[in-house]
Structure 1
Amino acid sequence: MPPSLPRLARVAIAGCAAVSVLTAADTRKPVTEWLARPSEAARIARVEAGLAPVTLPGAEPQHLSLQRWMELYAVPGLSVAVFEKNALVWAKTYGVKQAGGSEPVTVDTLFQAASISKPVTALAAMRYVEQGKWSLDANINDTLVSWKVPDNEYTKEQKVTLRRLLSHSAGLTVHGFPGYAVSEARPTVQQILDGAKPTNTAAVRVDLVPGTKTRYSGGGTTVVQLMMMDQLKKPFPQIMKEAVLAPLGLKHSSYEQPLPPALAAQAASATRGNGKSIDGKWHVYPEMAAAGLWTTPSDLARIAIEVSKARAGTSKRVVSQAMAKQMLTKQSERFGIGFQLEDGSDRFGHGGSNEGFRAMLVAFADSGSGMALMSNSDNGSFLIERVAASIAAEYGWKSFSSELQESPMMTADLLGRLKGADAVLAWYEARRRDGPADGLSPAVLNQFGYGLLSAGKVPEAVKVFEANVRFYPEDANAYDSLGEAFLAAGRNAEAILHYKKSLELDPKNTHAVKVLERLGARH
């Protein structure tokens, strides 16, 4: 199955050769920029010059410009905002709104924030908790009207509550949502929660005792969306505008799905990992609370600034100091209320991954500093992480650590882009043989293989997944992924064999069951 990671999503391997990428002319230069003071220009220049180099095994490091990195990853556009001492200090944009287009990204260009929608939803929900509209710790079914969370053996003693839903500890299923093509029928929120047609995800159900385990659930946030609509009797975009967006003066943000024409004209188009635009420009997300926010990095920065100021007791435009402190206090393994938190640090934020969009929000509550980065590409995570690491180094944010720098996933990705799949497999095998193999896991080649599939390089993907099975013969997901590659190659008999092997290793692999049933194979 495809990788499911909190900040790093699937990428496709670009089909360009190393020479053409590393010697090509720069992409369109940045054309818009906002500075709080002239001195920031020098800091921006150092950020752009400080990007970590290409570091391939056995080769000298190669420094690339930000524009060259965008070419390498086939990222059409990037937008960045940085804030310090609870004030926006600069914003800058790179590239174009649509792959192959000429209209530049500006500081007012809207991107899908994806899962960063969740902590903003949490802000609105907490505002109404303080107004006495609903409880943070009561059974959520007490406030749901048009639909109820089905009770079962897991909810006999512990209940699904708003606190648990917003801290991903309510025991609910459905990690995330793929959205819907603009031409597709879209389900109601109730249909989404029941997995009923035309919904493209499973039913949202409790399958862990609430409060006992942290497990990320966009499904749980969708329950919150319905509860807020039931109680306030308003469309969700209106609720969010009244509770958060308007009080903070966010003029370039909306939860409207689909976007109205006036806002759609300001939006960037989503881009596949192979550099091609998504049909219809983007997907539509009726799961608005979990994935529906359209915004800019500057507006995301203003949201984070407000949270830091509320925690410090210097603002209460959305929530009080006490509530802000509670939101930034760990409620489960990795989460406060809505926000991801960093152990031993004042860092809070969230990542975002929708079809064709990637985003990151990082903030430091004590200093009121941080950054927001947004891109219109499935490959955006790699670029965003690299730029974010350079920003953090320039501003001295020591508690920021990039998940990608020098990681095996980064090495595999760059090797694949610059030298091809055979070079990746040779490097991987040598590293396993020579050891220590820190960071190596089935997920590394699984991610790389799905990138090849996304780029239409099916024979190479089959070769990579076959190697993954050889390296990890007891990993159920490796067989599942190889089965998918064989399907893409039209080799159904081999696909069936590998899906059956995956199911043998993991009898709970419902994906394998569904594929085997679709293929008419007994299991």
Structure 2
Amino acid sequence: MKKRSIILLLLLLIIWNPLWSQITSEKIDQLMQSYSDIKKFNGNVLVTKNGNILFSKSYGMADFEWKMPNSAQTKFRIGSNSKFFTSVAVFQLVEKGKINLDKTISDYLPWFDKELGSKITVRQMLAHTSGLKNYTERADFYDVLAHLEITPEQFAKQYLQDKELLFQPGTKYNYCNTDYYLLGLIVGAVAQKPYEQYIKENIFDKVGMKNSGIDTPSEILDQRARGYEYDFNGYKNARPINMYTSTYSAGALYSTSADMELWMQAMDRNALISEASKKLIYTPGMTTHGLGVFIGKMNNGLVVVRPGAINGFSALTSNFIDDKIHIILLDNSSANRRGNHFEDIAGTIYQIVNNKTYELPKIPVSYKMGEVYKLSGILPAIDFYKKIKADSQYNITQSASELNSFGYSLLKSGKNKDALKIFELATKEFPTLANAFDSYAEALAEDGQKQEAIRNYERVLELSPGDNNATKQLKILKGN
């Protein structure tokens, strides 16, 4: 009798495993199709558990002009996921005794400004505690720096040596692309070969990542996805950018979902660096940021997360270490109005895999408002918003940020009067939200309504005393 029970149990397990996998796959597909339907995902998804593929599927278009769908072979820009690779490259050289985490920029880049470079260590740059200014926040980044065709070293010499630090190195955290750009140059200087060559030989080739590399303007790249933005006017081509020069080791890599899975597996089994080095990378510092990745907890288990975003692209890798679950999201349509919802997607997929309760995404309010606006104009769009506020199928909880994004979309399109109506609506719907009045004031000032702009900036200061932008704009508007 005992033997029969064991055999029956084994048979049930054999039947249940494929059935569970099929049900799980169907649920993930339903989730991702829901996000695709509301234009909040256009790309590839790969989910694995214990190294086995649970789900792999592509959604939307790699190229809308040529109507080429995304596929498993599509290559996506992975943005700041590149920083994880740069961090591992640094630690490989640390283990070889060629880099010391507590030595400075000046120890490795002799051309770098000595006064500045002698204050900042490799460890501080890995942790984003260098105090350096983030060059991608410069006002001229997207119009000038993003299009330069010079070497990374020339770029660094011209744009990454601002002597005015934000704070004393090591005392605060500030996410900074400058840190990881310089780290890539240090890797190249120490290894005596270009960063991209080092990464290929010591990471990509070692783990079999044959469809990954650094994005350069001149390369003809097979199966490359085009980058798109999505806003209230639909899809449009993303702003052009020279990835190699302007983002380099901070964000210029591309890959496929399958290659990113190989990368995550290699990290799990310590194929590239030691357990001790990995532990340092996975240990949070002043915030949830470790050394190139973000660290979290899920059901008391360790989660290593690396988001990335660059013109027209979004990416997220989530490694649920204790559960042995990998979730990879690669997208070529970064939507201006999305917000950071990839973490929500990954969290929901995790719930599905663990047979927990979950919810499908609700329709963004602004998504439908945009449709009504295009068909009927601004007043019907506002009426629509007011009518559906109580409708459970719409996502009202984020309507403050969505109304704000909708207003700015109209403002950038030259539809100032319509934008003003949306911003005014936001102030009425959220009368205690300083940002709503700040956006309304900005639009009023741009429309020449000086006194109304002053009144709304003063309201910002009532809600948020000492607000720097409101204070600055009031001085300008009042002629002080």
What pairs up with 1:185-204 in 2 under 5 angstroms? 185-189=148-152, 192-193=155-156, 196=159, 203=162
**Counterparts in 2 of 1:193-342, with a 5 A limit?**
193=156, 196=159, 203=162, 206-258=165-217, 260-261=219-220, 263=221, 265-274=222-231, 275-278=234-237, 284-286=243-245, 287-310=247-270, 316=271, 318-342=272-296
Segments of 5+ residues of structure 1 without an aligned counterpart are 1-36, 52-64, 311-315, 431-437
Separation in structure 1 between the aligned mates of residue 166 and residue 176 of structure 2, nearest angstrom? 12
Identify the residue that residue 72 of structure 1 maps to in structure 2: 38
TM-score scaled by length of structure 1: 0.69
How far the C-alpha of 1:189 sits from its partner, in A, is 3.6
SS at match of 1:347: strand
Q: For 1:450 and 1:331, locate their aligned partners in 2 and report how far apart those are by CA, in whole Å.
A: 36
Partner of 1:376 in structure 2?
A: 332
Gaps spanning 5+ residues in structure 2: where? 1-17, 374-380, 391-395
SS in 2 for 1:299: helix
What secondary structure does 2:68 align onto? coil
Distance 1:428 1:134, change over 3 A: farther
Measure the CA separation in 1 of the matches of 2:333 and 2:80.
15
Match of 1:108 among 68, 73, 84: 73
Distance 1:271 1:320, change over 3 A: same
Residue 396 of structure 1, CA deviation:
1.3
Deviation at 1:495, TM superposition (A): 11
Residue of structure 2 in register with 1:166 after alignment: 126
Determine if contact 2:294/2:306 at 8 Å carries over to the other structure.
yes
Question: 1:35-114, aligned counterparts within 5 Å?
Answer: 40-50=21-31, 65-66=33-34, 69-73=35-39, 77-114=42-79
Structure 1 distance, partners of 2:314, 2:95, is: 32
Pick the structure with greater CA Rg: 2
Aligned to 1:294, what secondary structure does the other structure show? strand
Match of 2:100 in 1: 135
Q: Which has the higher strand share?
A: 2
More relative contact order, 1 or 2 (CA 8 Å, 6+ apart)? 1
User: How many Å apart are 1:485 and its aligned residue?
Assistant: 4.1
| Residue aligning to 1:146 | 111
Matched, 1:393 2:351: yes
- Asked if the contact 1:96/1:103 (under 8 Å) is kept, the reply is yes
Residues 203 and 299 (structure 1), Cα distance of their counterparts in 2 relative to 1, 3 Å cut: farther
Task: Give the letter for the 1:339 counterpart.
Answer: V
Corresponding letter in the other structure for 1:336: G
Is 1:136–1:161's contact at 8 Å kept on the other side of the alignment?
A: yes
User: Aligned pair 1:367/2:323, yes or no?
Assistant: yes
For the aligned residue pairs, the C-alpha RMSD in angstroms reads 4.4
Matched residues, number: 437
Contact 2:440 2:453 in 1 (8 A): no
Confirm or deny: 8 A CA contact 1:181 1:283 kept in the other structure. Answer: no
- Contact kept, 8 Å, 1:334 with 1:340, in 2: the verdict is yes
The aligned amino acid for 2:28 is V
Q: 1:246 to 1:44 in 2, by over 3 A?
A: same
